[in-house]
Structure 1
């Protein structure tokens, strides 16, 4: 019998049976559902309640009585403090099981979909160093770990790394990150050392002052490298000194850029990008196609898995060569250009104008002449008159952001009645919500989850919907 000790807010002998969307283990004590930080399905634990609501509570492990067979030793020293890679303590095979389960649960519960047709999740080829882009933050308020505080010595308070969860102004100083291959770690660590040695100030996120603000590193499968240093209140001398150092220390950088951002937020899409050395872009390749990647360009952050994701999308569409395809939320036109050679025409629509410019450039450099791109709000562009002008699509591919499609867009798809819709999603819950609305005219005939982000709870999912006869 599980026993609640009110005075200590502890619950004993909890069996962890599942894992929640945010990556926490799930257990139950009497009528109380527990969401337990760093718990793995199969663990038997004693837990302490951190926050209690009416029917559920957040908790932490006080004692691990019996570890799950799925539990493994995290390989990153920053695990548990850094907000990323929350599933490092669970074997990769188990991660895949629970990612697939999260997809089928969402589709069944929210979309009323028969998931017996679901194909096995496609694992990531690489489980470490799989990202082609990372963004780091400079801060003069470093997060001190328990080990730091126990050391009791004067601590260096400048940091270059990642935000600590729920603390916007605290940055965890990162020595080694296993998400992006070298020289990413070397570049970050040497820039930090140089800034400290030369008294270049780190950004104060509360007071909005300081010279160094952000560092963005992008790499490509072709071996090219982009480094963007974002300054805030830096002198011309500080900018030149640091950028000269980076250029001389890392001559392999293809595109060395910098930005002066004195806004209150970190977004760079409205900022001027200045080229210090090399090109203002790098190139990525996929299946014989070349994609130009600029500082503001969107590209899937796991290059190898992006190729797999797009191949599944193409396979689900089942092109014969004569189709008119609408590619909704086309971004930089990656999917549109990827499928263009196998269809009659592709029309891409995207909200961000700069992304559409990238899409057009990517068509041009690959000599693709059967694509057309439009920028604007999806619900405003995808009208009856638009379809009348361009023709009824044989296939619609939609790859919306995490929030899914606007209800007006779903309604428009029901009006268009394209024979096939291929729905690519990074959020199975909003995908299922949209499918529930499409169910009045469409049936789900294929489902394939794809793991793009090992050691996290995130999963992509591709669904084929076919118009009911």
Structure 2
């Protein structure tokens, strides 16, 4: 098999990263945009020793699980990977992805559904660019596998107010947009964070990410003028990011006008969230995720909320836990966490700012023990040393992960330290994408 070959094949399953997998005489072929059960005519794009990638030339027989995407820009936008797959069937595929990442060694129940599958995304980070000739502003998402911006005027997975605010930016921003190739131009990203709890139209924080480390007076005046006409945004901040990087935010934020945070309410809990603080983008499914974590917490227990952010998990379990200790490296998130513990009238809590690994080591040296550790690390997972230290201060780890592959690696490390993985429950935080949140419950047997 070589690049350019044309062949017919049938897709067996979906894989992490989104592509469908087919086997041709036992050889793996990955096909983007394919659905299990599809009979396809494809062209090999690239073939190596272990697998090949291919593109669809023709759908000879569509799968019974293939549906029409509800977004008119699905084929041009790279954000939703599986809109063409029936939702319930996509959940079965996600369950299979988790099982395979864990090599079938643990109990993996059916993935828990998101209560909302449209208008569920309450944070959006849109790259901004310009057309080459007319310099018309583009605000949208990158096409899959590229840094070419698709101008998105309507996105059905985010609130309608987001479309309106982004359109205002598109039509009224006058200070130019960033060019990734030249490194010049001012506006890099427009970022919105909204609240599902607000009944007001103006319920979103707008952050303008600038390719600069400061604003000149004329720029500041122009931005202030721009914001006066943006009534749908409840507050605005500037983020300065002059580095040539794919990271969206730089280190420095400046509040410009209006509200400095939004208030998210999920069931009986309330959360103050600043633009730079992490919080789940799907509030309706966050309640499902938080409840899944909570069911593993014992009454009157001590809980370490590791990488605790604004206190999402710690506050959710605070009504059954005896004491919550939160550790977080972001100064703004710690500020929000302290406000949130007070806002929710939590009685016994401690909040620590600083390097998480060093704080965990300090707990271990001081022989401070916790009944449970809620562990919610970045997508890359945890360092081995962090896991080894945490295993000395608890007999129970509830590991929340957005990457089944790094979760599988880290579970093995924790098992090597005497903890046993009982179950791994998937929660669909990101409908119509291959992304999946997992909650692994690990306990030490007596």
TM-score, with length taken from structure 2:
0.91
2:401 to 425, 428, 434: 425
- d(CA) in 2 for partners of 1:327 and 1:249? 38
Map of 1:77 onto structure 2 = 72
Map of 1:107 onto structure 2 = 102
- d(CA) in 2 for partners of 1:337 and 1:206? 44
| 1:30-429 equivalent positions in 2, closer than 5 A | 30-108=25-103, 113-115=105-107, 118-141=108-131, 158-168=137-147, 170-195=148-173, 200-223=175-198, 224-232=203-211, 236-237=217-218, 239-241=220-222, 243-250=224-231, 252-265=232-245, 267-276=248-257, 278-317=258-297, 319-321=298-300, 323-383=301-361, 385-387=362-364, 389=366, 391-416=368-393, 418-429=394-405
What is the root-mean-square deviation in Å for CA atoms of aligned residues? 2.3
Q: State the 1:141 CA deviation.
A: 5.0
- d(CA) in 2 for partners of 1:187 and 1:242? 15
Map of 1:461 onto structure 2 = 438
DSSP 3-state at the match of 1:101:
helix
Q: State the 1:35 CA deviation.
A: 0.3
**Closer, same or farther in 2 for the Cα pair 1:298/1:161, shift >3 Å?**
same
- d(CA) in 2 for partners of 1:99 and 1:7? 30
DSSP 3-state at the match of 2:233:
coil
- Contact between 1:141 and 1:171, CA under 8 Å: does it hold in 2? no
Q: State the 1:352 CA deviation.
A: 2.7
**Closer, same or farther in 2 for the Cα pair 1:239/1:183, shift >3 Å?**
farther
**Closer, same or farther in 2 for the Cα pair 1:390/1:287, shift >3 Å?**
farther
- Contact between 2:3 and 2:47, CA under 8 Å: does it hold in 1? no
**Closer, same or farther in 2 for the Cα pair 1:165/1:243, shift >3 Å?**
farther
- d(CA) in 2 for partners of 1:413 and 1:261? 34
Largest Rg, 1 or 2: 1
**Closer, same or farther in 2 for the Cα pair 1:249/1:354, shift >3 Å?**
closer
- d(CA) in 1 for partners of 2:106 and 2:185? 55
| 1:18-37 equivalent positions in 2, closer than 5 A | 18-37=13-32
Q: State the 1:390 CA deviation.
A: 6.7
Map of 2:7 onto structure 1 = 11
Q: State the 1:67 CA deviation.
A: 0.3
Unmatched runs of 5 consecutive residues or more in structure 2: none
- d(CA) in 2 for partners of 1:330 and 1:249? 33
- d(CA) in 1 for partners of 2:115 and 2:96? 20
**Closer, same or farther in 2 for the Cα pair 1:126/1:398, shift >3 Å?**
same
- d(CA) in 1 for partners of 2:166 and 2:106? 47
Q: State the 1:462 CA deviation.
A: 1.0
DSSP 3-state at the match of 1:444:
strand
The C-alpha deviation readout for 1:139-171, integer Å capped at 9, x for no partner, is 1257xxxxxxxxxxx876642111234433x32
- Contact between 2:205 and 2:259, CA under 8 Å: does it hold in 1? no
Q: State the 1:245 CA deviation.
A: 4.2
- Contact between 2:237 and 2:255, CA under 8 Å: does it hold in 1? yes
The C-alpha deviation readout for 1:239-265, integer Å capped at 9, x for no partner, is 544543443342x43223334543434
The C-alpha deviation readout for 1:324-366, integer Å capped at 9, x for no partner, is 1111111222111221222111111223333223222222333
- How many residues are matched? 438
- Contact between 2:95 and 2:109, CA under 8 Å: does it hold in 1? no
**Closer, same or farther in 2 for the Cα pair 1:468/1:220, shift >3 Å?**
same
More helix by share: 1
- d(CA) in 2 for partners of 1:260 and 1:407? 33
- Contact between 2:273 and 2:310, CA under 8 Å: does it hold in 1? no
- d(CA) in 2 for partners of 1:227 and 1:124? 26
**Closer, same or farther in 2 for the Cα pair 1:247/1:436, shift >3 Å?**
same
Q: State the 1:389 CA deviation.
A: 3.6
- Contact between 2:118 and 2:157, CA under 8 Å: does it hold in 1? yes
**Closer, same or farther in 2 for the Cα pair 1:38/1:241, shift >3 Å?**
same
DSSP 3-state at the match of 1:210:
coil
Q: State the 1:8 CA deviation.
A: 4.5
Q: State the 1:226 CA deviation.
A: 1.1
- d(CA) in 2 for partners of 1:37 and 1:82? 14
DSSP 3-state at the match of 1:415:
coil
TM-score, with length taken from structure 1:
0.87
Larger displacement relative to structure 2 (218-227 or 159-168): 159-168
DSSP 3-state at the match of 1:304:
helix
- d(CA) in 1 for partners of 2:328 and 2:239? 25
Map of 1:150 onto structure 2 = none
- Contact between 1:11 and 1:29, CA under 8 Å: does it hold in 2? no
